[in-house]
């Protein structure tokens, strides 16, 4: 039997079913299927039961008696919406943690730091540690999330998260963010593979702030062991507070960050609990697209495609990828550039280039990307920087073309903290450039800043230096300019 309860524009559903072995929490005779409809939004948020999230609870307005337990920490920005064409110009999702399990989940927001009069309610849940493997000794994560829609494009907002009854509230410090502009040039930060060194990841975040990125996309392997909540907390801490002045903020909670899971996340509940991403349904947040300036950006978790191609998950992902790119190709007048991001690099020539899962990914995805004339594919997995020339044809022996609109350029940009791999010295006909970091180079990592203008995409990759000097002090490793 289905039972519905709702208030203030928020609803959740409780469905009777027997416990399963798919990672759902044991709940006696019933498991809870939770669906949150944010006030004023046209979408719902329904974490799949298989994630195993425990105690999903709408904001309960209860008093917070433990000030430490109620203090919001690691406040971050995400994005909600349907899986297709989520809108960062008008929508934002706030996610944070508390030391104790409490039900407060509110955001107060406004265009002036002293006038946070617009209040929105959300929900809380607990992400339990895995029962086997890495992360089993980590504490559960007490998570909170609120989605807000109907914002104005290109506008700076100030906000606090927290909640509680009047007089017994716990609120975060005031932070700010700016919604993406509806038109005009903007910068997207690109990075991946931060898993080994959080201090390098922090340097990359400083570059994203100093490079005025309007948002970031991240190609996976955020942490070394994707089921370890303690690692996410350590890495997110490095992006939260300014390392020079802890009373100020860096990028977490200031810039929208949209990551995809890599093989080290292995589609873990911890990864999906830590980030608010678009999409709903049984494979919520695993594949989605977002319209950003002059680009349509498709992002997806490629784990099932690479390792379980016959699964329902892989079939759903591939159907979405093909359909989404087909629709985007028909909308090039509004969004001329088609960009894809996922973890495994189809045309990497470093350590993983001939791995069976990478070859399977290449053979499956290359024909789809070619068919829809994707402009740029961004990957991680191999810890270096590489870019192909525009290519089409046979994935086992691709053809280099001189017209970029008739081929796809593939980029590996993975050095946000992971240990360096040595770039291949074997000549490859389709490779335009490869570059490394670490070793004898002056670089501790790599990252990129992608500028989107009306009909021009400029992608600049940088060698990250530890000595400081910001983006201006780093070396440009590669520049790719595409026009449409």
Strand locations in 155-227, DSSP E?
Answer: 156-163, 170-171, 175-178, 186-191, 215-218
**Which of residues 353 and 155 earns the better pLDDT score?**
155
In a domain? residue 24: no
Span 268-274, average pLDDT:
97
Span 363-382, average pLDDT:
98
Torsion of CA 263, 267, 273, 278, to 10 degrees: 100
Q: How many domains does the structure of the chain reveal?
A: 2
Which pLDDT belongs to residue 63?
Answer: 79
136 and 229 fall within a common domain? no
123 vs 113: CA distance, rounded Å: 24
Of all helices (H) and strands (E), which one includes residue 77?
A: strand 73-78
1 vs 215: CA distance, rounded Å: 43
163 and 219 fall within a common domain? no
Q: What is the mean pLDDT of the chain?
A: 92
CATH of the domain at 139: 2.60.40.380
Report pLDDT digits (tens) over 196-214: 999 999 999 999 999 999 9
Asked if 223 contacts 264 with a C-beta cutoff of 8 angstroms, the reply is yes
Which of residues 162, 178, 194 is at a domain's end?
A: 178
Q: What confidence category does residue 143 fall into, taking pLDDT thresholds of 50, 70 and 90?
A: very high
Both structure tokens of 23 = 């990672």
Q: In angstroms, what CA-CA distances link 248 with 71, 207, 243, 271?
A: 17, 16, 9, 26
165 and 269 fall within a common domain? no
Residue 108 neighbours by CB under 8 Å, 6+ apart: 116, 117, 118, 119, 120, 159, 160, 171
In a domain? residue 315: yes
Per the DSSP assignment, residues forming a β-bridge with 122 are none
Which pLDDT belongs to residue 353?
Answer: 87
Which pLDDT belongs to residue 184?
Answer: 87
- What is the span of the domain harbouring residue 447? 186-483
312 and 165 fall within a common domain? no
Which of residues 151, 178, 205 is at a domain's end?
A: 178
104 and 226 fall within a common domain? no
Which pLDDT belongs to residue 70?
Answer: 86
231 and 147 fall within a common domain? no
In a domain? residue 387: yes
21 vs 14: CA distance, rounded Å: 19
CATH of the domain at 316: 3.60.21.10
Both structure tokens of 477 = 């490793």
Residue 365 neighbours by CB under 8 Å, 6+ apart: 302, 305, 321, 342, 346
Span 264-285, average pLDDT:
96
Report pLDDT digits (tens) over 312-358: 999 999 999 999 999 999 999 999 999 999 999 999 999 898 999 99
Q: What confidence category does residue 165 fall into, taking pLDDT thresholds of 50, 70 and 90?
A: confident
Span 283-291, average pLDDT:
97
Report pLDDT digits (tens) over 166-190: 878 899 999 999 999 998 899 999 9
Span 75-92, average pLDDT:
96
pLDDT-above-70 percentage for the chain: 93
- The gap from C-alpha 280 to its chain's centroid, in whole angstroms, comes to 15
pLDDT at 454 over 90: yes
Which pLDDT belongs to residue 396?
Answer: 93
pLDDT at 16 over 70: no
**Which of residues 166 and 101 earns the better pLDDT score?**
101
378 vs 380: CA distance, rounded Å: 7
In a domain? residue 316: yes
Query: pTM, whole model, 2 decimals?
Result: 0.92
pLDDT at 78 over 80: yes
pLDDT at 5 over 60: no
Pairing relation of β-strands 445-452 and 456-464? antiparallel
Which pLDDT belongs to residue 51?
Answer: 93
| CA atoms 391, 393, 395, 399: torsion sign | negative
379 vs 299: CA distance, rounded Å: 10
Which of residues 178, 204, 230 is at a domain's end?
A: 178
| CA atoms 379, 375, 301, 178: torsion sign | positive
The owner of tokens 């070859």 is: 359
Which pLDDT belongs to residue 168?
Answer: 82
Which pLDDT belongs to residue 357?
Answer: 95
155 and 85 fall within a common domain? yes
Q: What confidence category does residue 67 fall into, taking pLDDT thresholds of 50, 70 and 90?
A: low
Asked if 96 contacts 144 with a C-beta cutoff of 8 angstroms, the reply is yes
Q: In angstroms, what CA-CA distances link 256 with 177, 253, 360?
A: 8, 7, 32
């Amino acid at each position: 039997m289905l039972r519905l309860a709702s208030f203030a524009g928020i609803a959740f559903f409780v469905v009777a079913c027997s416990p399963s072995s798919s990672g759902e929490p044991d709940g006696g005779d019933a498991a809870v299927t939770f669906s949150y409809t944010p006030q004023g939004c046209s979408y719902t948020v329904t974490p799949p039961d298989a994630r195993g999230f425990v105690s999903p609870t709408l904001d309960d307005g209860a008093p917070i008696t433990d000030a430490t337990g109620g203090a919001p920490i690691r406040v971050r920005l995400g994005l909600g919406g349907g899986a297709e064409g989520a809108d960062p110009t008008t929508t934002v999702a706030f996610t944070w943690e508390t030391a104790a399990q409490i039900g407060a989940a509110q955001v107060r927001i406004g265009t002036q730091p002293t006038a946070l009069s617009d209040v929105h309610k959300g929900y809380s849940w607990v992400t339990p540690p895995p029962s086997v493997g890495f992360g089993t000794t980590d504490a559960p994560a007490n998570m909170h999330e609120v989605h807000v829609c109907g914002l104005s494009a290109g506008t700076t907002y100030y906000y606090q998260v927290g909640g509680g009854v009047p007089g017994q509230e716990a609120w975060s410090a005031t932070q700010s963010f700016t919604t993406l502009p509806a038109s005009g040039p903007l910068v997207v930060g690109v990075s991946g593979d931060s898993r080994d060194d959080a201090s390098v990841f922090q340097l990359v975040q400083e570059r994203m702030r100093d490079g005025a990125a309007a948002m970031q996309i991240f190609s996976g392997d955020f942490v070394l062991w994707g089921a370890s909540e303690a690692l996410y907390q350590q890495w997110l801490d490095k992006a939260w507070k300014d390392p020079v002045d802890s009373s100020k903020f860096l990028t977490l909670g200031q810039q929208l960050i949209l990551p995809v899971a890599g093989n080290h996340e292995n589609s873990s509940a911890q990864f999906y609990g830590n980030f608010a991403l678009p999409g709903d349904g049984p494979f919520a947040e695993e594949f989605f697209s977002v319209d950003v300036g002059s680009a349509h950006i498709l992002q997806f978790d490629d784990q099932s495609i690479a390792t379980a191609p016959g699964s329902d998950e892989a079939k759903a992902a591939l159907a979405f990828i093909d359909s989404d790119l087909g629709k985007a190709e028909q909308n090039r007048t509004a969004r001329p550039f088609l960009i894809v991001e996922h973890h495994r690099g189809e045309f990497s020539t470093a350590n993983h280039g001939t791995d069976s899962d990478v070859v399977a990914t290449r053979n499956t995805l290359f024909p789809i990307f070619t068919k829809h004339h994707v402009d740029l594919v961004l990957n991680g997995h191999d810890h270096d920087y590489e870019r192909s020339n525009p290519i089409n044809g046979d994935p086992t022996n691709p053809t280099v073309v001189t017209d970029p609109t008739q081929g796809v350029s593939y980029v590996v940009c993975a050095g946000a903290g992971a240990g360096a791999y040595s770039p291949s010295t074997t000549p490859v006909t389709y490779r335009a450039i490869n570059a490394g970091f670490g070793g004898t180079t002056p670089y501790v990592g790599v990252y990129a800043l992608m500028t989107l203008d009306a009909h021009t995409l400029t992608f600049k990759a940088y060698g990250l230096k530890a000595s400081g000097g910001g983006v201006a002090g780093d070396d440009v490793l590669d520049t790719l300019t595409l026009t449409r």
